[in-house]
């Protein structure tokens, strides 16, 4: 038998893993609350004071710091600056131990909790959880910690589900909330219903009016900054995204679509745009409106029109950009500079596709490429000056004003025809019913296939036929709804146009940019130098050569 002599341990496991451990343990506390309510604020301050006093009162401990996270969720560590700073300081050798209230205060995410504790354990740094009486350096510490962290994560999931249920119940009851600190025009009323802040509402109305007058989003941003108007968050620089959000937010009409986005994962708080995965709720007349629904729909139609024309319309400063069309090829006219380096320098408007190659029809950014000068063909449409465009518009508008009563009667008759949507509503109801019936048949087919043996080939054919039938009905529904919206927008454009005509008692003596922006949609230039002015209501007026007008 071999002779075995036991050599007893002279240092602790913690000292062995952390040879730089001081005579006094350098201790830190960690405190976190998940919201900034008054009750939670008191808990937060109490935790900080408690750990400061506890560590300082122990003669074997040296107080380093109490690391804190205020109003931060514990389901992940990504945005917990205090927690991340504490872990980094510990790994850098500045701490020997950490004390915290409980596993749920440390982290509600099992993976984050175990990962952090293992990193600290490798450096010989103990984490003590008071409520559960767990030391991470203890042999059974990681097992207990895994169990408790899993329970904490499950508790977080239950809380998340309860909160989500409560929010959806509020939505179903028609109760809405807004991010008031970043939402222009409203504040929370005493009864919890949003109430209008008139000074901010005036800015919202101005934004809508400027956009309908033809101003681009960037132009509106410059106007607001020039006026010194603060942004919804109180800043000075208006962004395109902020203005676009205001122009497309239905809440300004007094109605609300709720649950546009939803949380996919309660741990990482990842959100996703709701594309039908969860219910949405439309709450009509949920709060006082700032913008008339008709004005809002008119803006949405204008956004769609500009989007169809391309990005240029949202960025340029010229009132004529993307509004001058070639009568031969249908392309846009663009502004060009002639004699740029001489005293004869001037701006003209010319078809962007004036030069094109007979063999190569590929267009890149409205420019034909890969062509030699000799191979290029010309559009027959001429170049025009800005003065000629202005005179054409003045002549066309005055033609309307000269016989405006007749035009107004025709416009009102057109409105009456457009608002007669009884047949459209009937067809829309029929297609919606078809969608509901087919959806029910598809669900029934799935249930039958799950409960009884069937020929899978035949089942698949039947299901695909139902799916095709559903898609056809859905496409018709979308088309009818789009036509209904288009009719509504056109009616509003005509009514707005009628209002503008009635308010003008005199002919236009000279070009007025406001009138152009409000009333005109486009001018088409033809080869014989005649022009056709199209107004916002759809009316078209032809004028002769503007050089002779």
Alpha-carbon distances of 54 from 29, 63, 65, 112, rounded to whole Å: 9, 9, 12, 27
Instruction: Return the CA Rg of the chain.
Output: 35
pLDDT band, very low/low/confident/very high, at 71 (cuts 50, 70, 90): low
Residues 23 and 145 in one domain: yes
The DSSP bridge partners found for residue 335 are: 349
441 CB neighbour count, 10 Å cutoff: 16
Q: Name the range with the highest mean pLDDT among 242-256, 490-504, 505-519, 532-546.
A: 242-256
What is this structure's pTM? 0.55
Q: Check residue 171 and give its pLDDT.
A: 66
Checking if the pLDDT of 79 tops 80, the result is: no
**∠ CA 539-544-546 to the nearest 5 degrees?**
105
Query: Which residues, 6 or more positions from 467, have their beta carbon under 8 angstroms from its beta carbon?
Result: 442
pLDDT band, very low/low/confident/very high, at 502 (cuts 50, 70, 90): confident
Is 183 contained in some domain? no
- What would the mean pLDDT of 365-387 be, rounded to a whole number? 62
Q: Check residue 422 and give its pLDDT.
A: 87
Residues 281 and 353 in one domain: no
Residues 219 and 293 in one domain: yes
Is 434 contained in some domain? yes
Alpha-carbon distances of 257 from 252, 294, 296, rounded to whole Å: 11, 17, 14
pLDDT band, very low/low/confident/very high, at 375 (cuts 50, 70, 90): very low
Residues 268 and 344 in one domain: no
Q: Between these two residues, 44 and 174, which has the higher pLDDT value?
A: 44
What is the domain range of residue 481? Answer: 387-540
Residues 298 and 347 in one domain: no
User: What's the mean per-residue pLDDT of the chain?
Assistant: 79
25: left (phi over 0), alpha (psi -120 to 50) or beta: beta
C-beta separation of 514 from 531 below 8 A: no
Is 179 contained in some domain? no
Q: How far apart are CA 348 and CA 229, in angstroms?
A: 36
Domain count, the chain: 4
Which two tokens mark 431? Answer: 């297609």
Is 442 contained in some domain? yes
Q: Check residue 257 and give its pLDDT.
A: 79
Each residue's pLDDT tens digit, 510-531? 888 878 877 888 899 998 889 9
Q: How far apart are CA 134 and CA 80, in angstroms?
A: 23
C-beta separation of 82 from 66 below 8 A: no
Checking if the pLDDT of 465 tops 90, the result is: yes
Q: Check residue 372 and give its pLDDT.
A: 45
Residues 429 and 486 in one domain: yes
Residues 445 and 535 in one domain: yes
CA 262 to chain centre: 13
Residues 274 and 213 in one domain: yes
Q: Check residue 370 and give its pLDDT.
A: 42
Which of 338, 363, 383 is the C-terminal boundary of a domain?
A: 383
> What CATH number is associated with residue 225?
3.90.1750.20
Each residue's pLDDT tens digit, 217-230? 888 999 999 999 99
Checking if the pLDDT of 247 tops 90, the result is: yes
Residues 443 and 488 in one domain: yes
Is 6 contained in some domain? no
- What would the mean pLDDT of 397-426 be, rounded to a whole number? 85
Checking if the pLDDT of 265 tops 70, the result is: no
> What CATH number is associated with residue 134?
3.40.50.1390
Checking if the pLDDT of 366 tops 60, the result is: no
């Amino acid at each position: 038998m071999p002779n075995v002599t036991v050599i007893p341990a002279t240092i602790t496991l913690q000292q062995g893993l952390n040879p730089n451990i001081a005579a006094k343990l350098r201790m830190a506390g960690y405190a976190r609350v998940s919201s900034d309510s008054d009750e939670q604020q008191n808990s937060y301050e109490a935790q900080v004071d408690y750990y400061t006093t506890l560590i300082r009162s122990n003669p074997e401990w040296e107080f380093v710091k109490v690391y804190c996270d205020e109003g931060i969720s514990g389901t992940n560590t990504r945005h917990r600056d205090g927690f991340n700073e504490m872990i980094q300081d510990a790994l850098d050798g500045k701490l020997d131990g950490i004390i915290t209230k409980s596993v749920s205060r440390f982290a509600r995410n099992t993976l984050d909790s175990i990962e952090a504790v293992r990193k600290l354990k490798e450096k010989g740094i103990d984490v003590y959880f008071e409520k559960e009486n767990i030391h991470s350096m203890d042999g059974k510490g990681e097992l207990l910690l895994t169990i408790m962290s899993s329970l904490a994560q499950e508790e977080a999931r239950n809380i998340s589900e309860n909160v989500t249920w409560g929010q959806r119940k509020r939505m179903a009851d028609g109760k809405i909330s807004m991010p008031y600190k970043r939402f222009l025009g409203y504040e929370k009323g005493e009864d919890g219903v949003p109430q209008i802040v008139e000074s901010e509402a005036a800015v919202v109305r101005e934004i809508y009016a400027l956009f309908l007058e033809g101003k681009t989003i960037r132009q509106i941003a410059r106007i607001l900054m020039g006026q010194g108007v603060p942004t919804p968050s109180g800043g000075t620089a208006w962004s395109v995204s902020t203005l676009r959000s205001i122009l497309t937010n239905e809440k300004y009409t007094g109605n609300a679509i709720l649950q546009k986005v939803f949380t996919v994962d309660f741990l990482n708080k990842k959100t996703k745009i709701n594309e039908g995965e969860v219910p949405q709720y439309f709450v009509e007349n949920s709060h006082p409106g700032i913008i008339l629904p008709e004005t809002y729909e008119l803006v949405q139609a204008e956004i769609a029109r500009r989007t169809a024309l391309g990005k240029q319309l949202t960025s340029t400063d010229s009132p004529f950009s993307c509004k001058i069309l070639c009568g031969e090829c249908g392309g846009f006219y663009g502004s060009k500079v002639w004699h740029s380096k001489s005293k004869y320098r001037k701006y003209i408007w010319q078809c962007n596709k004036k030069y094109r190659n007979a063999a190569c029809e590929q267009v890149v950014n409205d420019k034909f490429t890969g062509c030699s000068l000799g191979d290029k063909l010309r559009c027959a449409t001429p170049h025009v000056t800005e003065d000629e465009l202005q005179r054409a518009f003045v002549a066309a508008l005055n033609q309307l004003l000269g016989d405006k009563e007749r035009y107004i009667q025709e416009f009102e008759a057109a409105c009456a025809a457009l608002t007669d949507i009884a047949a459209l509503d009937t067809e829309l109801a029929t297609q919606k019913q078809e969608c509901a019936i087919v959806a029910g048949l598809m669900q029934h087919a799935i249930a039958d296939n799950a409960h009884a043996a069937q020929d899978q080939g035949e089942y698949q054919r039947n299901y695909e036929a139902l799916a095709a039938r559903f898609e056809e009905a859905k496409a018709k529904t979308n088309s009818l709804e789009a036509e209904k919206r288009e009719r509504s927008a056109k009616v509003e454009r005509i009514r707005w146009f009628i209002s503008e005509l009635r308010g003008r008692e005199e002919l236009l003596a000279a070009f007025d940019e406001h009138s152009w922006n409000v009333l005109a949609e486009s001018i088409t230039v033809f080869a014989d130098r005649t022009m056709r002015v199209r107004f916002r209501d759809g009316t078209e007026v032809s004028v002769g050569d503007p050089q002779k007008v």
